[in-house]
């Protein structure tokens, strides 16, 4: 064994342990990844099918309202915090002790629990308003689409297509049905 090879070997492990087993160690993550991807694909497709068929529209609308409300809460909280801090700063005449969050320094004013809860309440109200506005917009779009499908525009001609029949007996039956 050469001097350089001894430096690469770790004490306590047989010589060449990782060298001989390396192909197995490299294939294990590949096999695990393939088997996991095959499992998740089916469950995702089943979940999409179940979601589109099993639930009524009102349940899907409530779920959308929930997702939009919770998704918009962090942005609403940031906005509410910035606005309440800015109002407080303006009320105290621009005192550096009351500067809004991005500009706060050491020894800045720490809001009370009541003020923090007020900010959270404002953020919850904003996020609920955003979710309700989204729901109203979706309902209006659905209503317009429904009206468009029920009553086509007057300026478009109605085209009726009938199949061409080579057999005269079949053609007479088709004319009698219409």
Give residue-wise pLDDT tens across range 66-100: 999 999 999 999 999 999 988 988 888 888 888 88
Residues 114 and 138 in one domain: yes
Residues 71 and 141 in one domain: yes
Give residue-wise pLDDT tens across range 4-46: 555 555 555 555 555 555 666 565 565 555 555 555 556 666 6
Residues 64 and 141 in one domain: yes
Domain count, the chain: 2
Q: 0.85 exceeded by the pTM?
A: no
Residue 163 within a domain: no
The string of DSSP codes covering the chain is --HHHHHHSPTTS-TTHHHHHHHHHHHHHHHHHHHHHHHHHHHHHHHHHHHHHHS-HHHHHHHHHHHHHHHHHHHHHHHHHHHHHHHHHHHTTT-GGG--GGG--TTPPPPPHHHHHHHHHHHHHHHHHHHHHHHHHHHHHHHHHHHHHHS--TTSPP-------SSHHHHHHHHHH-
Residues 78 and 103 in one domain: yes
Note down the domain range covering 116: 56-148
Residue 78 within a domain: yes
């Amino acid at each position: 064994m050469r001097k350089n090879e001894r430096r690469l070997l770790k004490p306590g492990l047989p010589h060449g342990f990782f060298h001989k087993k390396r192909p197995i160690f490299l294939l294990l993550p590949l096999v695990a990844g393939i088997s996991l991807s095959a499992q998740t694909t089916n469950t995702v497709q089943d979940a999409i099918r179940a979601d589109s068929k099993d639930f009524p529209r009102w349940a899907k609308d409530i779920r959308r309202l929930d997702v939009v409300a919770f998704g918009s809460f962090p942005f609403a909280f940031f906005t509410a915090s910035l606005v309440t801090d800015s109002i407080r700063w303006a009320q105290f005449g621009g005192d550096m002790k009351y500067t809004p969050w991005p500009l706060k320094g050491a020894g800045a004013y720490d809001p009370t629990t009541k003020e923090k809860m007020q900010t959270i309440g404002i953020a919850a109200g904003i996020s609920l308003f955003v979710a309700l506005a989204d729901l109203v917009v979706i309902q209006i779009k659905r209503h317009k689409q429904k009206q468009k499908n029920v009553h086509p525009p007057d300026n478009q001609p109605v085209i009726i297509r009938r199949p061409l029949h080579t057999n005269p007996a079949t053609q007479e039956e088709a004319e009698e049905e219409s």
